[in-house]
Amino acid sequence: MAEDIKISYYKPSDELNIIFDEPRDSVCLEISDEIYLRLDPKTNAVLGLTILNFEERLRNKTQTIPISGHFMLPKKTKELIGI
């Protein structure tokens, strides 16, 4: 499982990319209008998301992305906060 989430924004195409692991070959599945889930073609593991027209979506206030997930604190962080 990835320890970091990487977020990048590319202004010329107004595209937000969220990467859950190191970038690698993937297939895309459109899960909502201009929201793409990137999947490992062999395992179907979720590798990230791409959201097109991101600034336009922000202007329209709150947006919902149709996914759910499980987030955990890394062991180092748990040790730092004493849990």
Per-residue confidence (pLDDT) for residue 17, from 0 to 100? 94
The three-state (H, E, C) secondary structure of 5-55, written as one string: CEEEEEHHHCEEEEECCCCCCCEEEEEECCEEEEECCCCCCEEEEEEECHH
Per-residue model confidence as pLDDT tens digits over 1-37:
556 789 999 999 999 999 987 778 899 999 888 989 9
Angstrom distance (rounded) from CA 54 to CA 36:
12
Per-residue confidence (pLDDT) for residue 18, from 0 to 100? 92
Count of Cβ atoms closer than 10 Å to residue 7 Cβ: 11
- Under DSSP, the state recorded for 66 is S
Q: Which of these, 12, 60, 18, lies nearest to 37 by C-alpha position?
A: 18
